[in-house]
Amino acid sequence: MSKLHDTLAKYVDSMNFGHLPEGNERFLKEAAVRDLEQQIIREIVQQKAGEIYAEADRKRKEALKLEQQQEQARKIRDAQTAFWTVIVLGILIGLVGNQLTELFSFLKDAVKMELPVLISTIFLTGGLSFVIYHIYQSVYLGKAAELIEEFLQKGSERE
C-alpha cells in the first residue's frame, strides 16, 4: 500500500464511529479511506495541472517575446541594408549624371570630337546605368516581392 493509504487508514482507525457493529464500522472506515484518498489525489492533480498550465503559458509568452525581438532585429538589419543601398545608389546616380554631363558637353564641343573619349564615356555611362538598375532590381524589387509574399502568406493563415 502507499504511504497516503497507510496514513489515512491509521487516521480513520483512530476515529470512533460510535456504536456500530464490527462489520459496518470496518466497511465505513474503508469507504472513508477510499473517499479521502480520492479527494486528496484530485486536489493534487488539480494543483499540478494549474502549475503545468502556468508554466506552459509562461513559456509561450517567452517564445512570443523572443519572436518579437527577432522580428525587430530583422527590421533593424533591413533598415541598415536599405540605408547603405540608398547611399551607394545615390553615389552611382551622381556618377551617371556627371558622365552624362560630360557627354553632353563633349557633344557640344563637336569641333574637338575625339572618338576614344566619346566611346569610353558612353560605355561608362551605360555600365553605371546597368549597375544601378541591377542594384535597384535585386534590393528593392526583391525585397518588395518578399514583403508581398509574406503579407499574402499571413493573410491566408488568418483565414
CA distance 156 to 144: 18
Between 73 and 58, the higher pLDDT residue: 58
116-136 pLDDT, tens digit per residue, is: 767 777 888 888 888 888 887
pLDDT at residue 29 greater than cutoff 60: yes
CA distance 123 to 17: 110
CA distance 125 to 98: 9
The values of phi and psi at residue 151, to 5°, are: -65, -45
pLDDT at residue 19 greater than cutoff 90: no
CA distance 118 to 130: 18
- Res 75: pLDDT: 78
C-alpha cell at 116: 576614344
CA distance 88 to 138: 14
3-class secondary-structure state, position 85: helix
95-118 pLDDT, tens digit per residue, is: 888 888 887 777 667 656 567 767
Number of H helices, E strands in the chain: 4, 0
Name the pLDDT band for 32 (thresholds 50, 70, 90). confident
- Res 37: pLDDT: 84
pTM above 0.95, yes or no: no
For 103, residues 6+ apart whose C-beta sits below 8 A from its C-beta are 118, 121, 122, 125
Task: Tally the domains of the chain.
Answer: 1
CA distance 99 to 97: 5
CA distance 88 to 11: 85
- Res 159: pLDDT: 55
Cα separation values, 32 from 20, 25, 38, 44, 136, Å: 15, 10, 10, 18, 81
Instruction: Give the domain extent around 44.
Output: 3-158
Longest dimension (CA), the chain: 135
